[in-house]
Amino acid sequence: HTHTHTHIHIHYQVVSLDWGIDPAVARQQAPNKVLQGNLDPSILYLPKEVISTHTQKMIDSFGTQRYIANLGYAVDKSMDPELVGSFVDE
């Protein structure tokens, strides 16, 4: 996952990241791109308070500029819609 000496040279404006990517490394590699991601979707099986804590930590690690808060993968059909909603509400 980590290529600390390489910048991402692509023509896309947004780069989506899975939950295994360190936000600081992603920002270093793609300093002028909008980054999207990267909450581990398994967090959505945990209590709302834990989801809130992890979501805020994720947002803090990316910052609020050139960032879209999102999951690092997909929502599974076995996830409780109320808990998924708590991520969205956060």
Task: Give the pLDDT confidence score for residue 9 in this predicted structure.
Answer: 65
Please give the Cα distance from 89 to 12 (Å, whole number): 28
**Distance from CA of residue 88 to its chain's centroid?**
13
Predicted pLDDT at 8: 57
Give the pair of three-digit tokens for residue 88: 């969205």
| CA distance linking residue 17 with residue 39, whole number of Å | 9
Give yes or no for a contact between 19 and 41, defined as CB atoms under 8 angstroms apart. Answer: yes
Distance separating alpha carbons of residues 3 and 39, to the nearest angstrom: 21
> Tell me: the pLDDT tens digits for 14-66?
999 999 999 999 998 888 899 998 999 999 999 999 999 999 999 999 988 99
Compute the distance between CA of residue 36 and CA of residue 48 in angstroms, rounded to an integer.
Answer: 22
